[in-house]
């Protein structure tokens, strides 16, 4: 009887620890990413020059996916990003911008995302777009003017359609909406700092 009580107590402690860990991780995710001291915001409408984009097909909008394979937030976002590529891939060019201190090949990133899309490794693209965390979405119109820079979703797993910000931005741009207003959760960076994952 004592042995059974000890096993139950041990299981209770273990379950409490796992629950506490999940709660802690969720709480950490809800905290905004600290803004770097030398951060320079980039205004909507600014032309973003990315030489690698010249090779993309057609003159159409571009969604740049800022991705760090070592960032848990980026990993949670993979399925959602794939769904956006499937839904909008005929109208929008998609490219991944890898933001990692570790070396990766384009093929490794494509395999991690399960997508055959261009992979860019130039960290200066983040500065050009005003990005300082991952994952982040940057949507440029066909003239490469910044239309949206922000989060994919309010929830960690990108499951809330009401806060599917990147998807809303894509729909708005394709419907020629200008001046769309997003709330603070869309535009405040959450996730891992660049280039190291510190969250």
Instruction: Give 188-198 pLDDT, tens digit per residue.
Output: 888 888 765 55
Cα dist from 63 to 56, 60, 91, 141, 159, whole Å: 12, 10, 11, 9, 20
pLDDT at 147 exceeding the cut of 70? yes
Average pLDDT over residues 66-85: 92
pTM: 0.83
Contacts of 124 (CB under 8 A, 6+ apart): none
For residue 24, the model assigns a pLDDT of 47
Contacts of 118 (CB under 8 A, 6+ apart): 52, 55, 56, 93, 94, 95, 96, 106
Contacts of 185 (CB under 8 A, 6+ apart): 151, 154, 163, 165
Token pair belonging to 75: 């990993």
pLDDT at 36 exceeding the cut of 50? yes
CATH superfamily, domain 51-193, is Glutaredoxin (3.40.30.10)
For the chain, domain boundaries: 1-30, 51-193
Strands 119-120, 133-134: pairing kind? unpaired
* 71 alpha carbon, distance to own chain's centre: 10
Alpha helices (H) in the chain, listed in sequence order: 2-30, 72-88, 106-113, 124-129, 165-174, 184-187
Rounded Cα–Cα distance for residues 159 and 115 (Å): 20
């Amino acid at each position: 009887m004592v042995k059974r009580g000890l096993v139950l107590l041990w299981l209770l402690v273990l379950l409490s620890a796992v629950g506490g860990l999940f709660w802690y991780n969720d709480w950490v995710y809800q905290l905004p990413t600290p803004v770097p001291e030398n951060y320079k915001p980039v205004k909507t409408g600014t032309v973003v020059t990315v030489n690698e984009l010249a090779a993309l097909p057609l003159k159409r909008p571009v969604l740049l996916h800022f991705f760090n394979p070592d960032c848990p937030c980026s990993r949670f976002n993979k399925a959602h990003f794939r769904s956006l590529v499937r839904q909008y891939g005929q109208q929008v060019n998609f490219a991944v911008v890898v933001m990692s201190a570790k070396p990766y090949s384009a093929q490794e990133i494509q395999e991690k995302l399960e997508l055959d899309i261009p992979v860019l490794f130039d960290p200066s693209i983040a500065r050009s777009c005003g990005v300082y965390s991952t994952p982040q979405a940057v949507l440029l119109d066909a003239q490469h003017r910044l239309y949206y820079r922000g989060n994919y979703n309010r929830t960690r797993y990108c499951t809330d359609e009401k806060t599917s910000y990147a998807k809303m931005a894509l729909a708005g741009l394709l419907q020629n909406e200008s001046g769309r207003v997003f709330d603070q959760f869309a535009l405040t960076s959450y996730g891992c700092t660049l280039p190291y994952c510190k969250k």
